[in-house]
Structure 1
Amino acid sequence: MREELLDGTGRVVAHYDRRTRLDLPYAAELEPVDISAEDLVRLLFTERKGWVFSAGPEICLPAKANGGTVVRHAHAYSFDLREQQADPDWLNPPLADGLRAEEFTATLEEIFPAYQRAFPPGHVDHVLDAEGERANFAQLLAGEVLGPVLPCSGLIRDGEEVVGVVVVNDRAGDPPLLGPWIGQIYRDPAPRYRGLGMVLLRRAVALAAQAGLPAVGLAVTDGNPARWVYEKAGFRHVEESMTVLIPD
């Protein structure tokens, strides 16, 4: 739900989505209203101590300079189906023997092992708290984070084992920063599965086009080599953002 941040006079100086991250209150997608970045940072550090917030670098870099901790530096991408064509051949990609692409019908227990393998220690998106991440993933699948899971989601199995996953959520709002949104995409890092990230991505876009969706968006952490896959697939960079922890 969209909430307001007020200054000392009761004037609205920012809007944000109230969520939880790292078990802390989270002001997601903070949007300033007629206030300088420096003044907004001062107000945040006074009124939202111990919170996490996400916004553009123009707000987050001053927050970092004042003692905030950057939790994530990300880039948003969009494949705008109103302007770009999805190749119908992406729906039925050629796969190695034993691999098959399917609708998203797996349980969290089936898809989580490949997720853990995809982001090992040293990866920019590795998470130390596996149980906490499992709970976050469950909330994503339940539609509690970015909205309901859309039919253009999918997975790839090797025999009965899930080795690749793409989850597309129906994020309320308009593209490019809202609308259909890839909440998760990953593959098992074993050499046999090289290239499956592109397969999953293109198949989701083709299914979205078939369903008449306007676009597909996603966010990727700065430093994640998957960025080149998104760019090669035709996704266009639309925003840079950061998530910052305010000192308590």
Structure 2
Amino acid sequence: MKAASIPFNEADRLHALQEYRILGTQPEQSYNDLTLIAAEVCDTPIALMSLVDENKQWFKAKVGVDVLETPRDWSFCAHAIHTFEPLIVEDALNDQRFHDNPLVCGEPNIRFYGGFPLQNNQDHRIGTLCVIDRTPKSLNKSQIKIMEALARQAVSFLDLRLRAVRLLDSYCSLDHSPNIISTCSYCRKAKNEDGQWQYLDQYLSKRSSLNFSHGVCDACMEDQFPEVLEIWKQDEKEKFRNNYRSKINSKTEG
């Protein structure tokens, strides 16, 4: 077995992979769908979204296998990340790099492998979208074209994740600015320096000379105290009637 050599930009490649913060995360439908489509399009029993870490390859999504990872030295994908071109191995038994590989000699008994690199816009190839069969085969031009498109889609999902991670990091860094109050979008409480959530009046009272009085707005009265509001409305109607009668009586007496 010939283990893949280490890419020349390995440190930058691993940094790019770590930035996604995806290793070890739970399965997600969007990635699972990509491997399902890949297996159907290429008519293979196995499809994987494989991410090549320092010492292992880890499967974010998979069809046809139960394992979550394998050693990097066994990984076909570790070979595939050396170039942006897909790595197609039609029969692993006839390839000197893989003929005695544990994944060929044992489960899942790889014969065919088609790996399509996951390459970001900085040319870091962090893994592959790959299809695997237990019998020798090849892919036609249409299948290759679709697999390349699916690999690009996988990278798009990863980039969306990265943007969300960076946005969250930015929010957390702003959270400690003296000019910003972090408030809950639902209950409108404010978070103090200890990470505790307080009612806004409590929060501001400790940080300013403001004083607060409390009441109940019309909307909250209607939502929280409908029975009180109904009595209030009845009282207002009764006052109106009494005032009206008083005016009528005054005119009559005059």
Larger Rg: 2
Larger strand percent: 1
TM-score, scaled relative to structure 1: 0.22
Larger helix percent: 2
